[in-house]
Structure 1
Amino acid sequence: MKIGEISKRSCVPVETIRYYEKIGLLPKPDRETSGYRAYRNAHLDRLLFIKRCRNLDMAQDEIRELIRLSENPEADCHAVDALLALHLEHVRDRLKELSSLEKNLQQLQRACSDAGTVQECGILDGLSSELEGLHSKISDHENHVPGTHKPGKS
């Protein structure tokens, strides 16, 4: 199948498919004599696997590791379980961060008076004050797989 068809069947944009090929998550397909990529069902299966992993917010390195582990089907699945446990820990950390974010936003919203000018806006004042403290804060959550989910790239 051509790239447009695999894109349609997987609901993954053509550009993303090319990117996955470029970074090695998806094997490069053979080329037809016309130069078009010729994808097989194995490519579709891999693409759907990657898509499911991305829907679980897994990073590229995590997906790459799962693919590597899947290439040895007779091996013990402890490494797969350990990777998922680390990812789950990361998700739980993110939930805590999002809960804190929600509380901060609610606090800012409460700072708004019903009537007033933009100059008197409690939200904008609170954001200006918050920005001063943000420069000194650094995310303290550890990467769960080295090189993945770096602060600012989650």
Structure 2
Amino acid sequence: MQPLTIGRLAATTGVKLETVRYYERIELMPPPARTASGHRAYEQAHVRRLTFIRRARELGFSIEQIRALLALAEPSRASCAEVLEIAQTHLDDVRAKLADLTKLERILGATIARCSGDLAPSCPVLDMLATTERA
């Protein structure tokens, strides 16, 4: 396979060029080889790794969780039990966020239902936002 430029790597994986550079800066992506003129030259391993990172980000994993998952994906470190722990923690976080969003939906829905939309001295939505009570 011919080495890829950063632009081709970004296009192939669906990741923005600046994001590729960012992942290199924070050492989530290994540095690529350089051409004689100093351009980055990416290999298939970079495509696989960046695809893994993109997919993990789409699923909401944090950078540190992805770093841990990448380390666990190494043949010498493969540990399904450790991967399970990271995934379970993430799933618990997702479920907590869903519960919070459901509660938020209920509160906003009830508040909006009380709003007539007419000119009035007070607005239920604004009143709800100004209250010091926690939802």
Q: Which deviations, in whole Å up to 9, do the C-alpha atoms of 1:86-130 show, x marking residues without a partner?
A: 11111111111111111121122123124224x43221122112x
Q: Using structure 2 for the length normalisation, give the TM-score.
A: 0.89
Aligned equivalents of 1:74 and 1:60: distance in 2?
A: 19
Give the structure 2 partner of residue 65 of structure 1. Answer: 68
Size of the alignment, in residue pairs? Answer: 132
Structure 2: gaps (5+ residues): none
Question: What code does the residue aligned with 2:85 have?
Answer: A
Q: Which runs of 5 or more residues in structure 1 are unaligned? A: 138-154
Deviation, 1:52, is: 0.7
Secondary structure in structure 2 of the residue aligned to 1:133: coil
Give 1:36-51 correspondences, 5 Å limit. Answer: 36-51=39-54
1:2-151 equivalences in 2 (<5 Å): 2-73=5-76, 75-117=78-120, 119-129=121-131, 132-134=132-134
- Residues of 2 paired with 1:69 and 1:10: CA distance? 22
Question: Contact 2:34–2:41 (CA<8 Å) still a contact in 1?
Answer: yes
Q: Find the residue that maps to 2:133 and give its secondary structure.
A: helix
* Aligned-partner residue type, residue 133 of structure 1: E
SS of match in other structure, 1:12: coil
User: CA offsets, 1:30-49, max 9 Å, x none?
Assistant: 11111111111100100000
Q: Percent of counterpart pairs with the same letter?
A: 39
For residue 111 of structure 2, give the secondary structure of its aligned residue in structure 1: helix
Q: Contact 1:26–1:46 (CA<8 Å) still a contact in 2?
A: yes
Distance 1:127-1:111 versus aligned 2 partners, 3 A rule? farther
1:7–1:14 CA contact under 8 A, matched in 2: yes
Q: Judging changes above 3 Å, is the alpha-carbon distance between structure 1 residues 76 and 7 closer, same or farther for their aligned structure 2 residues?
A: closer
Q: Please tell me the root mean square deviation across aligned C-alpha atoms, in Å.
A: 1.7
Q: Does the C-alpha gap of structure 1 residues 34 and 62 become closer, same or farther in structure 2, counting only changes over 3 Å?
A: same
The alignment's TM-score, normalised by the length of structure 1, stands at: 0.79
